[in-house]
Structure 1
Amino acid sequence: MSNSDDENKDQKSVIRPTDDKARLLAKGLIRTARFGALAALEAGSGHPLASRVSLATDLDGTPVLLASTLSGHTAAIRENPDCSLLVGEPGKGDPLAHPRASLFCSARPILRESEEHDRLRRRYLSRHPKAELYVDFGDFAFFRLELTRASLNGGFGKAFELERQDLLTLVEDLPAWSSLEASAVAHMNEDHKDAIKLYAQVLLRAEDANWRLACLDPEGLDLAAGDRVERLWFSERLAGPEDLRPTLVALALQARNT
């Protein structure tokens, strides 16, 4: 056996079998990421270029970024859409001990006059409300970073290779979910702040803060308070939009009885 064969065998041996816990961790890192490190090839030179970008997600969990068309990384992904995105914030102590995921993506620009643009604009502003100052400027554009696979590092000795289907949420009726999300988020934030607070502080054991519902999808809720984002997963993926209301009611009852 050659040295290269030995090296390949050693590399594969450190990769753990993908399980539901790994999938949930990777999805959570993507869903709660407020920013990430985008790696692309610089337009013209082809030299590696890394930039910090603000992030949100589409309903299915695909990362979304809003970028100035004048920036170097926008020119890079327009010339070569293949890129990578690193998500996962370090905490106290050794930054390498904290989970992170390298996402392999293809950047797709979003047409401004489209329902897709309206949906991504709404979801992005729910995560980054101050971006409303410039989101509609002509030199800004949204990109969906279409996922192909991911390398997940859950901490020392916890390496996984995940495929596209491991990272995304199945959304069978996208228009219905998009319409429901817009109305449900507004309704919850206006009329049920007490329930949102229970979700955050009881079910997620988050600190006391002015929590609001930022986004929702068939697998869970994204709660935000300032710079903090928490993910509340449903016990199982909802089959359809009609299942949302009873699920939210059940979660509030669960929190009150905890």
Structure 2
Amino acid sequence: MKDQPSPLRETDDDARKLARVLLRSARHAAIAVLDPETGFPFASRVLVATDIDGTPVILVSQLSAHTRALARDPRASLLTGEPGKGDPLAYPRLTTQCVAEPVERSNAFYERIRTRFLARHTKAKLYIDFPDFLFFRLKPETASLNGGFGRAYQLDGKDLVIQSAANEEIAAGAAETVRDLIERYPDVEESLATRLKAPESGSWRICGIDLSGFDMISGDFLLRYEFETLAVDADHICSNISKIAYSIP
């Protein structure tokens, strides 16, 4: 009997970029954990943000079933990617297998994660500081990308995160970087929304930057843009963003 051809395509840069966009453009996701009582998979929905290196972050109540499950077994899968009109299976989606790491309030990077999360989920301010709520970083181990019919890829966790010594510096100055960019170019966010053909909504604003790209949000819409090459510092990020906003089509 002849060996069947593999359904997987060779993972290339386009696949890696699509996977990162699917993960970083998600405002919510389905999470699957292992029920500690039965061992059965347990699926739920969680709000998602990303840390400065692209690692997904969730905010959960310690009273929820999936939080109790993660406390016993940190393995989890996260499904991201939104369907549109027609066949839901024709749209790209990403399943990321992760190891959940709790983020204690005493951690040096807790405020960074809190700030980045609230930039996407402003309504979470109502409960984010409740004592029974906590963050988990979901460290990617492997990922399965389905880019649509006939486009399946297997990725390593490292394909989804930014490996750079400049991450901490960018995170510390992110708010100031965005503020300076808007002071220099007051209409930059409006221009970006137009150039990137963002869905018609209210006003768009930059809600996150990193060395690999930036995020914009308007109401329930979140848009992720990935740079062609990794930026090296804040000036490089601003230069990339201004070129995207104002370059001649």
TM-score of Structure 1 vs Structure 2, range by shorter chain: over 0.9
1:190 CA displacement: 7.0
More divergent stretch after superposition (163-172 vs 146-155)? 163-172
For 1:197, what is the secondary structure of its paired residue?
helix
Q: How does 1:91-170 map to 2 (within 5 A)?
A: 91-170=84-163
* Alignment-derived partner of residue 56 in structure 1: 49
Q: Deviations over 1:151-193 (max 9, x none)?
A: 0000111100001121112231232111121222344567755
| 1:101–1:152 contact (8 Å) kept in structure 2 | yes
Letter in structure 2 aligned against 1:81: P
Q: Is the 8 A contact 1:59 1:171 kept in 2?
A: no
Cα distance in 2, alignment partners of residues 100 and 26 from structure 1: 8
Q: Is residue 89 from structure 1 mapped to residue 90 from structure 2 by the alignment?
A: no
CA distance in 2, matches of 1:44, 1:97: 36
- Whether the 8 Å contact between 1:200 and 1:230 is mirrored in structure 2 is no
Secondary structure at 1:93 match in 2? coil
User: In the alignment, what sits opposite 1:248?
Assistant: 241
| Residue 238 (1) aligns with residue 231 (2) | yes
Deviation at 1:44, TM superposition (A): 2.4
Return the match for 1:47 from 29, 37, 40.
40
Poorly superposed stretches of 4+, deviation over 6 Å: none
Tell me whether 229-238 or 136-145 shows the greater mean CA deviation. 229-238
Query: Is the contact made by 1:43 and 1:72 (CA closer than 8 Å) also made in structure 2?
Result: no
Contact 2:166/2:232 (<8 A) preserved: no
Deviates more, 1:64-73 or 1:169-178: 169-178
Instruction: Go from structure 1 to structure 2 and tell me whether the alpha carbon gap of 1:70 and 1:245 turns closer, same or farther (over 3 Å shift).
Output: same
CA distance in 2, matches of 1:217, 1:79: 32
Whether 2:198 is the aligned partner of 1:206: answer yes
Mind listing any 5+ residue stretches in structure 1 that lack a counterpart? none
Match of 2:158, SS? Answer: helix
Change over 3 Å in CA distance of 1:102–1:50 after alignment to 2? same
SS at match of 1:135: coil
Counterparts of residues 180-219 of structure 1 (less than 5 Å): 180-188=173-181, 192-202=185-195, 204-208=196-200, 209-219=202-212
CA deviations 1:182-233 (Å, max 9, x no partner) are: 222344567755111111111x111343100010100111000001011122
Question: Cα distance, 1:43 vs. partner?
Answer: 2.4
The answer on whether the counterparts of 1:109 and 1:143 sit within 8 Å (CA) in structure 2 is yes
Q: Is the 8 A contact 1:193 1:212 kept in 2?
A: no
Stretches of structure 2 lacking an aligned partner (at least 5 in a row): none
Q: 2:14 aligns with which of 12, 21, 30?
A: 21
Cα shift readout 1:104-151 (whole Å, capped 9, x = no counterpart): 100000011222111110010001000001000000000000000100
Root-mean-square deviation over aligned CA pairs: 1.7
Aligned residues: 248
Deviation at 1:241, TM superposition (A): 2.7
Q: Is the 8 A contact 1:189 1:213 kept in 2?
A: no
Structure 1-normalised TM-score? 0.90
- Give the aligned partner of residue 29 of structure 2: 36
Contact between 2:90 and 2:149, CA under 8 Å: does it hold in 1? yes
- Secondary structure of 1:115's aligned partner: coil
Corresponding letter in the other structure for 1:205 = K
3-state DSSP of counterpart to 2:142: strand
Counterpart in the other structure of 1:225 = 218
Q: 3-state DSSP class of the match of 2:173?
A: helix
Q: State how far apart, in whole Å, the 1-side matches of 2:159 and 2:44 are.
A: 26
The answer to whether 1:174 aligns with 2:164 is no
Opposite residue 248 of structure 1, the aligned amino acid is I
